Structure 1
Amino acid sequence: MLDVQMLTKRFGDKTAVENVSFNIDRSMMIGVIGRSGAGKSTLLRALNCLSDVTSGSITFEGQEITGLKGAARRNWQSRCAMIFQQFNLVPRMDVVSNVLHGTLNRRSTLATMFNLYPDSDIHKAIEILDRLGIAEQAEKRAEALSGGQQQRVAIARALMQDPQIILADEPIASLDPMNAQIVMQALRRIHEEDGRMVIANLHTLDTARRYCDRVIGMRDGRVVFDGTPEQLTTGAARDIYGAGADFSEAATSTEIETLDRSQTYAAETYA
């Protein structure tokens, strides 16, 4: 389905992604992990054509993606939806209107200017919000919602595009552990129930193991691990994160129980 070959992206004399290659032959949920600055976000932006690549190729179902321009690029971006860490909602606009923005690529300029939507799209937006457990928030301004609720609105907006691929760039980085789990469960259900490919940039090992079918580890712009969650051992994680023997997975955990144990241990140690 998705084939990435020798992908490189440079910003001046800095190489953000270097000779990255991988192939995804079926719909699955993939976690891309690594330290900040490893090249994860640059990779996703290249996949979505938000950033042009320096060299290499991206092919989806036989179509060359790199180098698309104009309407062809917009069409690809409607098939490959992007979810951002900071939600990218319109704060003072109501929730359902934010979700309906997922249809902008297929609407006329006039309809966009006057905020006109067919009833079928409005009903679909509310159905998606209901699926994500936040239909009761539809009439509220986006800025009135919690971070976890706002991220689910962003997921709903992506689903309005009816995409084949969902790219999630650090979707839980700014969320507390409870909301992080709710958002990851939502993305997993979307993959399983809809058959959509989901590629998510993640910081935490436990999240990648729990929700993903495959994990790609990046370090300094290169892929240094590509395997199953079971193959993501502590030793492999040390290599991905460039850490020493004192590396602790608990420090990167989003599991509430693990965090509670870590906090209890710290309190007892330093009491």
Structure 2
Amino acid sequence: MLRFDEITKSFGANTAVEAASFTVDEPMMIGIIGRSGAGKSTLLRMLNRLTDVTSGEITFEGQNITNLRGAAKRNWQSQCAMIFQQFNLVPRMDVVSNVLHGTLNRRSTLATMFNLYPDDDIHRAIDILERLGIAEHAPKRAEALSGGQQQRVAIARALMQDPKIILADEPIASLDPMNAQVVMQSLRDIHEQDGRMVIANLHTLDTARRYCDRVIGMRDGKIVFDGTPAQLTTGVARDIYGADASFSEATTSTEIETNAAAQKLLAYAAAQ
């Protein structure tokens, strides 16, 4: 389905991604890990075509997407939705309108200017919010929601595009452990229930192991690991992060102690 063939991205004398190659044969949930500056975000931005490729080729379902321009590029971006760490919502706009922004690529300029949406789109937006457990917040301003709720609104906006691929760039980096698990489970459910490919940049190893089918490790712009969560040992993680024996996974953990109180807190976070 998806193929990266010797993809390189340079910014002047600096190389952010160097000769990255991998193939995804079927929809799966993929985690990309590595320290800050490893090239993870640049990799996703090239796939979404927010950043141009310096050399190499990216193909999806046989189509070369690296050279798309104009309407063809916009069409690709509608099929490859992006979720950002900082949500990128319109704070003073209500939640359902933020979700409906996922349809902007197929609406006329006039309809966009006057914020006009078909009833079918409004109903679909509310259905998606219901699926993510936040439909009751539809009329509220986005800025009134918690970080975890806002990230679920961003996920709902991505789903409004009906994409084939969802890219998530550090989707839980600014969230507490409870909301992080709610957001990651939402992405996992979307993959399993819809059959969509999900690719997420992650900092936490336990999150990659728990939610992903495949993990890609990057260091200094290069792919240095590509395997299953079970193959992501502490030793492998040290190599990816360039760490010594003092490296501790606990410092990156989003785990919540499994007990009755913690499960109640997790359920509460999901409802908020």
TM-score range relative to shorter protein: over 0.9
Q: Which residue of structure 1 aligns with residue 261 of structure 2?
A: none
Residue in 1 that maps onto 2:197: 197
Aligned equivalents of 2:223, 2:190: Cα separation in 1: 26
User: 3-state SS of the aligned residue for 2:257?
Assistant: helix
Q: 1:256 Cα deviation (Å)?
A: 2.0
Paired residue type of 1:154: A
How far residue 97 of structure 1 moved from its aligned partner, in angstroms, is: 0.1
Aligned pairs for 1:1-271 (under 5 A) are 1-257=1-257
> 2:190, 2:166 → 1: CA distance?
9
In structure 2, the gaps of 5 or more residues are 259-272
Q: 1:257: how far off? A: 2.4
Q: Provide the C-alpha distance between the structure 2 equivalents of 1:175 and 1:36, rounded to a whole number of angstroms.
A: 17
Shift of 1:238: 0.3
SS of corresponding position for 1:58: strand
Q: Give the Cα–Cα distance (whole angstroms) in 1 for the partners of residues 135 and 249 of structure 2.
A: 36
Query: 2:251 is aligned with what amino acid?
Result: A
Query: CA-atom RMSD, angstroms?
Result: 0.7
1:67, CA displacement in angstroms? 1.5
Distance 2:209 2:89 in 1: 29
**1:131 Cα deviation (Å)?**
0.2
- How many equivalent residue pairs? 258
Residue-by-residue CA offset, 1:235-263 (whole Å, 9 max, x unaligned): 100000000011101011011229xxxxx
Between the aligned residues of both structures, percent identity stands at 84
What do residues 186-223 of structure 1 show as CA deviations (whole Å, max 9, x unaligned)?
00000000000000000010000000000000000000
Q: How far apart in 1 are the matches of 2:175 and 2:69?
A: 35
- Secondary structure, aligned partner of 2:38: coil
Q: In 2, distance between residues paired with 1:63 and 1:106?
A: 21
The letter for the 2-side match of 1:82 is M
Instruction: Report what 1:264 is aligned to.
Output: none
In 1, Cα distance between the equivalents of 2:67 and 2:170? 25
Q: Which runs of 4+ in 1 moved over 2 A?
A: none
Deviation at 1:171, TM superposition (A): 0.2
